Amino acid sequence: MSEVLKVGKAPSLDDLAALAEAAFQALPESFRKLTGDVIFRVDDFPSDEVLDELGIEDSFGLTGLYQGVDIGRRSGFGPAPQPSMIFLYRRPILDEWAERGEVTLEELVSHVLVHEIGHHFGLSDADIDAIEASAG
C-alpha cells in the first residue's frame, strides 16, 4: 500500500495507476497476454464528451471505460483500429470506495480494471455481471 493511503490522504492519480498496475500484474499471465497492447490510463473524471456520448449526467457515475474495437470484432481486412484504451476514473472510484466501505481500494480498482478488460474481450455488462455472480 502506498504511503499516501497509510497517512489518510486522498490517493493521487499516480497512486491509482500503481494500484491498477499491481492489479493487472496479479492477473494470470495467460489473461494478461490476451489483453494485447491495451493502453491503461487514470484520469480524475471522464471527459464531458464521454459523458454526453454515454448519456451520463453525473461525472461521478462512471468509474471506468473501455474505448476501442473489442478483439471479437476486429478484422485483418479493414483499416487498423485505434489503440484500445482502458480508462479508470479516480474521483468516481474514490467516491464509490467511500460509499461502499466494506471493500478495499485495491479490490475496487481491480474490479473496475477487470470489468473494462472484459469489454476489451467483447463481453457485455450482463456477461460480466453473470461471470462475477457465478464466481461468488
Q: What is the mean pLDDT of each run of 10 residues along the chain (136 residues)?
A: 57 95 91 88 96 95 90 64 89 94 91 91 84 71
Alpha carbon separation from 17 to 5, 82, 109 (Å, rounded): 13, 22, 9
The b/e string for 47-59 (b: 16+ C-beta within 10 A; e otherwise) is eeebbeeeeeeeb
Topology (CATH level 3) of domain 3-70+82-134 = Zincin-like (3.30.2010)
Per-residue confidence (pLDDT) for residue 1, from 0 to 100? 45
CB count in 10 Å sphere of residue 4: 14
Domain parsing of the chain, residue ranges? 3-70+82-134
